[in-house]
Amino acid sequence: LLIYLTIVGCCATGIGLLIWASRRGLLWTRPIQMFVDLLPILGDISRTLALARFTWALSITLRSSLDVRVAVDLALQAAEHPAFTALRRPVWASIQAGHSLSRIFEGTGLFPVDWLDAFRVGEESGKLDEVLERLSRLCMERASRAMKVLSVVGAVLVTLLIATLIIFMIFRLAMFYIGQIYSAIPQ
């Protein structure tokens, strides 16, 4: 039991430290975040959550009286994702060059086509605030569904990990017991 609790405690502590370091933006977590982006389910969830945070932050910052460059920069920071934060300098330079936001975002290759289409329509019609608010809600719904998928996948993985550990401990105890029986038999 002590070995089991130690292993579970170490795993929980490691995951907690990883989440803490990731939220703080420590440099050594960036490769881990990039690796997570390559994974089939977790990568999609990570990008969906980042897009939801970005859209929500952009909706809020553009409604305020902030300069567009500052608003977009704050939204990119709010995404808390390496792919979005890496865009800060190129986006800043493109805005200073006078390009439209839809053209800038399209050039990154990071945003989904449906998001870009809705953003472009909002920008051209002058109703970007309303479109971003709707996009924000849509992205939050997608993120909510993604989190449900993540919770199911996480529950299955934790169940499999615990079952594997229990089975391993049962076989280890059984082999120890059988070894003791064989050593007690006179040869």
Indicate whether 34 and 80 sit together in one domain: no
Read off the tokens for 77. 């920071």
At 93, which CATH number?
A: 1.20.81.30
User: Do 89 and 12 lie in a common domain?
Assistant: no
> What pTM value is reported for the model?
0.70
Residue 132 CB coordination number (10 Å): 25
Give residue-wise pLDDT tens across range 30-61: 777 788 888 887 888 888 888 999 999 999 99
How many domains are there within the chain? 2
Residues 115 and 75 in one domain: yes
Give tens-digit pLDDT for 74-117: 999 888 888 888 888 999 899 889 888 889 999 888 899 999 99
Angle subtended at Cα 125 by Cα 124 and Cα 131, rounded to the nearest 5 degrees: 100
Query: Which tokens belong to 33?
Result: 């975040």
**184 in a structural domain:** no
Same domain, 57 and 29: no
Instruction: Quickly state the pLDDT bin for 25 (edges 50, 70, 90).
Output: low
DSSP structure class, residue 60: H
Determine the Cα–Cα distance for residues 16 and 175; give it in Å rounded to an integer: 35
State the residue range of the domain holding 74. 40-145
Look at residue 32 in the predicted model and tell me its pLDDT. Answer: 75
* Mean predicted lDDT score pLDDT of the chain: 88
Count CB neighbours of 128 within 10 A.
21
Same domain, 1 and 25: yes
Q: Answer yes or no: are the C-beta atoms of 113 and 43 closer than 8 Å.
A: no
DSSP 8-state class, residue 117: H
The answer to whether position 85 is within a domain reads yes
